[in-house]
Structures are given as C-alpha cells and as structure tokens.
Amino acid sequence: MTKSRRKFIAEQKAAMVRRHLNGKEPISAIAEELSIQPTQIHQWVAMALDHIERAFEKTAKSEMASKMAEAKVAQLREQQIEKLREKLIHKNEVIAELMEENVKAKKTNGDL
C-alpha cells in the first residue's frame, strides 16, 4: 500500500513560517509536530523571504487609488476655500452696512 503525499495549502505554510519567525519557535519543533522534514520548513521560510519585497511594492491599482484620493482632497479643499471666501465677502458687506448705519445715526444725533 502506497502512502499518499500530503499537501499543505498556502495558509498552512504561511502559518508555520510565521510561527517560526514571529514566535521564534524552532523549526525542528514545528517539523516534528507536522511529521515533515525540517528542510521543508526551511524551504518555505526561504521562499517567503525571497518574495518579501512584494509587501513593500506599490501596485498600479494602489497608486491610482492614491492619486484619486489626493484629487478628491484637493477638490474638497478648493470647495472649502470658496465657501470661506463667500462667507468673508458676506461678512464684509454686513460690516459695511453696519458702519453706514452707525455713521447715519451719529449724523442724526449730531455727534458728527
């Protein structure tokens, strides 16, 4: 009777590599627990470390999303600036009207 070959899925391999790298658990202990050769886990660790650059690379999709988010922020900032300009203009108009009424009131009272 032949023994069927066990296959580990990517999540299982990643979990074993994390246990070794994060928890500083010896490879020999993990290999014994899984009943596999320690060299297999060494290969998984090497494979993970060979592809670690991918974790730090920006993808075109994330760059596009970043640019869109920056454009949205710039648009919102411009809208806020425009609202503040309108508010300032309105405030200046109100102050001008109040000053005019104040001058008229002073003239009628004879203070000017």
Residues 12 and 50 in one domain: yes
Q: What pLDDT does residue 1 have?
A: 58
pLDDT at 112: 65
The predicted model scores a pTM of 0.49
Domain membership flag for residue 34: yes
Which structural domain, as residue segments, surrounds residue 103?
74-112
Q: How many domains does the chain have?
A: 2
Residues 6+ apart with CB under 8 A from 55: none
> pLDDT digit string (tens) for 29-45?
999 988 899 999 999 99
pLDDT tens digits, one per residue of 59-97: 767 778 888 899 999 999 999 999 999 999 999 999 999
- Whether residue 44 is found in the same domain as residue 79: no
Report the C-alpha gap between 96 and 99 in whole angstroms. 5
Q: Phi then psi for 49, rounded to 5 degrees?
A: -70, -30
